């Protein structure tokens, strides 16, 4: 990896680190090291990084702000690319906005709501990046990214980049084509919002944010919702009915505030979280005959 690291530094792609703990870059504060960690300074830096990665045929992975992500204790081999500062631009063209994949979805929703633009009220309390939100079709309060996305600029596994339309993204509940059929990462997103009454939009944003603050444990390190809702049931309600709120394995604990959140109660390891996930799945299956499917993405060697 020394040669790759030197090449990346010589190319001035952005920040380049060796054996960087990914616990520093996830909202749950767990995860082992990345062999090579790169935070490109712009899209050109990202392209140069991908050229070097392809030249050396090493595995690679892109992350955003680290929410909805569980990195295993062994970490990640190869190159981890973080879309952050430098790929967090925001450009307006009439009612259309092109946003960098590293842009905070909460910040974006706050800024545009104050302009009297409607469509992102649901995102007022969702942690994470725009790229991650599009990738998993993040949503809340009856809406999601599929309702506002025009097209997405996607980096594919072979290093090529392409714009995909909303239809080509094949959105469904917390899912897009990028997770399975065409693995890729959202580098930029173009969204279209509608004009509305500014005070009403801001009030809706505030209500959504307060609801999350009152019902979800954001005072602890966590990854967001752990399980997809097994409709017509709700994951959190099933976990609460099973009496699992507060159940703890190692440093990982089912939130006493919301059953579908696992929090890092202190020095948790990814192994603790995985063991707790498996335990919850087994109990819910035994009690309710419901198969639980994780929403959090689990990655690592």
Q: Which sequence positions are flagged as catalytic?
A: 174, 225, 295
Query: Cβ neighbours of residue 175 under 8 Å, at least 6 residues apart?
Result: 136, 137
* Cα–Cα dist 119/10, whole Å: 43
What secondary structure, in 3-state letters, does 137-161 show? CCEECCEEHHHCEEEEEEEECCCCE
Element (H, E) at 112: helix 105-113
Element (H, E) at 53: helix 43-56
Do the strands 69-71 and 297-299 form a parallel or antiparallel pair, or are they unpaired?
parallel
3-state secondary structure of 3: helix
Write the Ramachandran bin of 232: left for phi over 0, alpha for psi from -120 to 50, otherwise beta: alpha
* Cα–Cα dist 69/66, whole Å: 6
Residue 97 CB coordination number (10 Å):
24
Element (H, E) at 210: helix 198-215
3-state secondary structure of 163: strand
Query: Contact 251/265 with Cβ under 8 angstroms?
Result: yes
Tokens of 250: 């190692």
Q: What number of CA atoms fall less than 13 Å from residue 93's CA on the CB side?
A: 8
* Cα–Cα dist 148/112, whole Å: 13
3-state secondary structure of 196: coil
């Amino acid at each position: 990896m020394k040669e790759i690291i030197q090449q990346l530094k010589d190319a001035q792609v952005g920040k380049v680190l060796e054996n960087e703990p990914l616990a520093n870059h996830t909202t749950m504060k767990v995860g082992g090291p990345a062999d090579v960690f790169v935070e490109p300074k712009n899209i050109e830096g990202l392209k140069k990084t991908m050229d070097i990665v392809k030249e050396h045929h090493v595995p690679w992975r892109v992350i955003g702000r680290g929410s909805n992500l569980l990195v295993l204790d062994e970490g990640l081999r190869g190159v981890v690319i973080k879309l952050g500062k430098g790929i967090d631009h925001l450009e307006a063209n009439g009612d259309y906005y092109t946003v960098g994949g590293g842009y905070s979805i909460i910040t974006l929703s706050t800024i545009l709501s104050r302009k009297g633009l409607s469509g992102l009220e649901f995102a007022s309390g969702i942690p994470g990046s725009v790229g991650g939100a599009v990738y998993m079709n993040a949503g809340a309060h009856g809406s999601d990214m599929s309702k506002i996305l025009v097209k997405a600029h996607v980096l594919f596994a072979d290093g090529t980049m392409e714009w995909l339309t909303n239809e080509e993204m094949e959105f469904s509940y917390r899912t897009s084509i990028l997770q399975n059929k065409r693995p890729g990462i959202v580098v930029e997103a173009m969204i279209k919002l509608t004009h509305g009454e500014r005070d009403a939009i801001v009030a809706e944003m505030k209500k959504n944010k307060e609801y999350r603050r009152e019902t979800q444990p954001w005072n602890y390190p966590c990854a967001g919702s752990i399980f997809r809702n097994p409709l017509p049931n709700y994951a959190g309600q099933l976990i609460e009915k099973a009496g699992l709120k507060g159940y703890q394995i190692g440093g990982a604990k089912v939130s006493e505030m919301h059953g579908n959140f696992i929090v890092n109660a202190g020095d948790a390891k990814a192994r603790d979280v995985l063991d707790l996930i498996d335990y919850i799945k087994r109990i819910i299956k035994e009690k309710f005959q419901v198969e639980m499917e994780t929403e959090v993405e689990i990655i690592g060697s």
